[in-house]
Structure 1
Amino acid sequence: MTPSSQGVEYAQLRAFVEVAEQGGFSRAAERLGVTPSSLSQTIRALETRLGVRLFNRTTRSVALTPPGQALFNRLRPAMDEIGAAVEMASRAGGRVAGTVRVHAARVAAARRIEPMLAAFHAAHPDVVIDLTVDDAVVDIVAGGFDLAIRPGEVVEKDMIAVKLGGDHRQFPMATPDYLARHGRPAEPGDLTAHACIRWRWDGRSQPYDWEFCRDGAWFAVSVAGPLIVNDRRMMLDACLAGIGIAFLTNEEGAPHIAAGRLEPMLEPWCAAYPGFFLCYPRQRQMAPALRAFIDAVRAVEHDYTIPANKSW
């Protein structure tokens, strides 16, 4: 086999893995920097060379055939090893390079990633951070991500999980003006008589019920109100505008409480729970760019303690 044919074979196999991971040609082509039509031709050439169909294609979806799935299962770890080996060689030459694909919950992106971006880029100018920010719970491997930052309650059991910071607590919070006009709830059940700003996980049809704990037992309160959003920043902004009560974490609310813009409530019912975790698949050898990113995120620390409030 000539060097040129080896290069073509590698390009075809890399294209195959990318299409399989992305579940389609458009996004895979974008990641590879080629056109969808060119990528389709590459896959057809690979299928012709192997003498087997690797994908079932329809106008709406692309799915692996059984032979394609078998090839992907064997090929994906090998491609990861090749990428890691190339990056290790780069690091040996004093250069950390490559792309780190990250999926992060919105609050995690704002609190854990944004503060380190400038310093990280200055230290590692050849590393590209491909960041997807949303609150959906996605399959890290199937989505083609290297790692995710998400709440502990939705971390997959088969992932390496590294805790970032301390535990979280969620509190009902409102502006002093709202509480002056509508009163302060004395217990969680009183929230049903208030205007509450509700949040919905991406990909779910119903809003999140507010969870409280008393004497070690957790229970949920189904609240109602004038606004349902799937963006926690918008929920916070609506709360600051005095629209109603929002159920916010200590990370989201602490600076506004310290400034007197918000007041937390019902502290005895607001127990701690695991906060954010950085999670990634088990791997024998971690790429230098991924390790550098993980170290930078772990170095970001803040104090999000809720100030004491006697009116709770």
Structure 2
Amino acid sequence: MNGLLLSQEYNRLRAFIAVAECLSFSRAADQLGVSPSALSQMIKSLEDEVGMRLLHRTTRNVSLTETGENLFQRVRPAAFELGLAVTQVRQSGERPAGTVRVHTFRSAYQKHVEPIVEAFTEAFPDIVLDMTLDDEVVDIVAGGYDVGLRIGEVIEKDMVAVRLGPELRQVAVATPGYLQRYGYPEHPRDLVNHRCIRWRWPGRATPYAWEFFDKNGWFSVTVDGPLIFSDKESALNATLRGIGIGFPVEDAVSAYIGKGSLVSILDQWSAPFPGLFLCYPQQRRMAPALRAFIDVVRAGPPHSQDSSADIP
């Protein structure tokens, strides 16, 4: 394969990775510095080459097909390694130094930052990571932060957003003992007659309304119950004690469901939603310290490419 074909192949894969990370053609185009129409053509060319559809497109949403998700998980690590190598060469005469101010949801820190902190601090001894672990949704720029990690649905429109893992799914769960005592809800709206363990976004006055999906789209149910938490782990612990029905992210409770400590209910109304993203303001020239942090978090720990995570 000659150099031109290699360049075209790389550009198509780079375009695909950007769309898969952002789940938005416009955001990905801004990130790559190309027009949305040119980006769309590159994706079409890649789909023609592999002979399969990689993305589901509507006027409002972009999502990965199963084939697209498999390709994304395989090519992303190699692309990040290449990008990191280029960054290191570019910065070889400019040692990254200074403070990077990070605002991250607790679950995002545990999944995507904590595993790389030791290696990062050893590789970049002149960088200080000033990390705020907070589940409140704040304005990254107004708060004086350089970068944030949060779920896709609460990212500001003008931010560059890079997907860190697959979509997430919330599921209603309860202990077998609770269900034996109070019965099974047959529809999400039946939850209004059950004891639910509620959760409130930090900084907000009212608890989160549980969201479900049917043929007409997303709908919410305002549940009631004896406990309201601002901490997801505490809400899960109360659910495990049989106090009521909880609504955690599936990955956080899959082990409990597998061993029978919890029972998943109302599964047919639980649909996936955008997972965790790394987000930062658009900028012409990024500080080397921030560039290094973003590259390492995107690449992930070398021993694992599993990026699923709980929401805060």
TM-score (norm 1): 0.64
Which of 297, 300, 306 is the aligned partner of 1:302?
306
Shift of 1:91: 4.2
Q: Work out the CA distance in 2 between the residues paired with 1:200 and 1:99.
A: 32
Tell me the residue number matched to 1:130.
Answer: 130
Alpha-carbon deviation of 1:94? 7.0
Are residues 240 and 295 of structure 1, via their aligned partners in 2, closer, same or farther at CA, if it must alter by over 3 Å?
Answer: farther
Where structure 1 has 5 or more consecutive residues not aligned to the other structure, the ranges are: 1-87, 306-312
Q: Is the 8 A contact 1:171 1:249 kept in 2?
A: yes
Query: Match of 1:249?
Result: 249
Q: Which runs of 5+ in 2 are unaligned?
A: 1-87
Q: How many residues align?
A: 218
Q: Match for residue 115 of structure 1?
A: 115
Aligned residue identity for 2:191: L
Q: What residue is the counterpart of 1:211 in the other structure?
A: 211
Q: Deviations over 1:231-281 (max 9, x none)?
A: 112112222222211111123223433344322211110111111111100
Deviates more, 1:207-216 or 1:181-190: 181-190
The structural deviation recorded for 1:294 is: 1.5
Counterpart of 2:171 in 1: which secondary structure?
strand
3-state secondary structure, aligned to 1:257 = helix
The answer to whether the 8 A contact 1:201-1:207 is kept is: yes
**1:73 equivalent in structure 2:** none
Question: 1:106 touches 1:232 (CA, 8 Å); kept in 2?
Answer: no
| Superposed CA RMSD | 2.4
- Mapped to 2, the partners of 1:178 and 1:304 lie a distance apart of 28
Are positions 1:147 and 2:151 aligned together? Answer: no
Shift of residue 229 of structure 1? 1.0
2:189 paired residue number: 189
Q: Deviations over 1:73-116 (max 9, x none)?
A: xxxxxxxxxxxxxxx9x943474322111111122122222222
2:247 aligns to what SS in structure 1? strand
Alignment match, 2:163: 163
Paired residues for 1:1-312 under 5 Å: 91-93=91-93, 95-300=95-300, 301-302=305-306, 304=308
SS class of match (1:251): helix
Q: Distance in 1 between matches of 2:99 and 2:179?
A: 48
- How far apart are the structure 2 equivalents of 1:116 and 1:110? 10
Q: Find the aligned partners of 1:97 and 1:240 in 2 and give their Cα distance.
A: 45
From the superposition, tell whether residues 174 and 209 of structure 1 become closer, same or farther in structure 2 (CA, over 3 Å): same
Write the distance in 1 (CA, Å) between the matches of 2:200 and 2:185: 23
Range that drifts further, 259-268 or 133-142: 259-268
Contact 2:194–2:224 (CA under 8 A) maintained in structure 1: yes
Contact 1:197–1:239 (CA under 8 A) maintained in structure 2: yes
Equivalent in the alignment of 1:59: none
Name whichever of 164-173 and 258-267 sits farther off: 258-267
1:197-246 per-position Cα deviation (integer Å, ceiling 9, x unaligned): 11111111110100111004211111111111111121122222222111
SS class of match (1:294): helix
Query: Quick one: which amino acid aligns to residue 293 of structure 1?
Result: F
**Residue 258 of structure 2 aligns to which amino acid in structure 1?**
A
Question: CA distance change for structure 1 residues 199 and 193 in 2, over 3 Å: closer, same or farther?
Answer: same
SS in 2 for 1:243: coil
Tell me if structure 2 keeps the 8 A contact 1:254–1:304. Answer: no
- Work out the CA distance in 1 between the residues paired with 2:279 and 2:307: 22
Q: Is the 8 A contact 2:111 2:307 kept in 1?
A: no
Higher relative contact order, chain-length normalized (CA < 8 Å, sep 6+): 2
Residue 141 of structure 1 deviates from its aligned partner by 1.0
Distance 1:292 1:259, change over 3 A: farther
Shift of the 303–216 alpha-carbon distance from structure 1 to 2, 3 Å rule, reads farther
Separation of aligned partners in 2, 1:161 and 1:95: 26
Structure 1: 4+ residue segments shifted above 4 A? none
Between the aligned partners of 1:114 and 1:282, the Cα distance in structure 2 is 25
- Normalised by the length of structure 2, the TM-score is 0.64
Match of 2:306, SS state, is: coil
